[in-house]
Amino acid sequence: MQIAERCVVSIHYTLKDDGGEVLDSSAGGEPLAYLHGTGNIIPGLEKALAGKRAGDKLSVRVEPAEGYGERDERLVQQVPRRMFQGVSDLQPGMRFHAQGDHGPVAVIVTRVAGDMVTVDGNHALAGVTLNFEVEVAQVRDATLEELSHGHVHGPGGHHHE
C-alpha cells in the first residue's frame, strides 16, 4: 500500500548535516514508526514520504523551515546562577526545563561565567539543513486506538503501561 493519511509507516533512516556528519540514525535498531499526516515527524520528511511504498528508498533534503525551524537568538538568555539552586556542578551541555511563555521549554546550558549562566532554548537542530537517507520498511493501516491517540503503538512507537 502507498503512504497516505492515517497510515502507520516504519522507516529506517540516517540523518546527516551538510558537512556529512551523522546526527541520528536508526541503523542497528528498530525502524522509526510514525502515524502519517499527524505531524509526528518534521513536515519536510512527511511530505517527501507521501505516496511511497515499502521497499522504496529516497534521499530527502530538508531546509530548516520544513525541519526544526530557524534559530531564534531571543531564545538565548543570560540568567543568574542562583536560578540553578541545588545544582552543584553546573557545566555547559547540561539540559534543564525552564518555564517559558507557552509552557515548559527545554534549554541547554552553553556557558557558565562567574555568576551568569547562558542558556539556549533552541532545538539542537534548529537552523540545520537536514539530509535524510530513508528506506520505507513497512506501511500498514492504523488501528482505531492509534488514531484516537495520534501516535503509533508497538515496535518503534509508544508503549503504554
Alpha-carbon separation of residue 29 from 40, 61, 109, 110, 131 (angstroms): 19, 23, 30, 31, 20
What residue is closest to Zn ion based on CB? 149
Report the residue number, 35 or 109, with the smaller CB distance to Zn ion.
35
The site that binds Zn ion (CB under 5 A) totals a number of residues, namely: 2
Q: Tell me the closest approach of the beta carbon of residue 159 to Zn ion, in angstroms.
A: 9
As given in the structure block, the three cell numbers for residue 115 are 555568576
Among 64, 149, 154, 159, contact with Zn ion (rule: CB under 5 A): 149
Report the residue number, 88 or 148, with the smaller CB distance to Zn ion.
148
The whole-angstrom separation of Cα 13 and Cα 41 is 12
Q: Tell me the closest approach of the beta carbon of residue 145 to Zn ion, in angstroms.
A: 7
Q: Tell me the closest approach of the beta carbon of residue 130 to Zn ion, in angstroms.
A: 27
Please report how many Cα atoms fall inside a 13 Å half-sphere around the Cα of residue 98, on the Cβ side: 20
Helices (H), ranges, the chain = 43-49, 144-149
Q: Which stretch binds Zn ion (CB under 5 A): 13-21, 26-34, 53-61, 151-159?
A: 151-159
Q: Tell me the closest approach of the beta carbon of residue 65 to Zn ion, in angstroms.
A: 30
Contact 134, 44 (CB under 8 A): no
Contacting positions for Zn ion (CB under 5 A): 149, 158
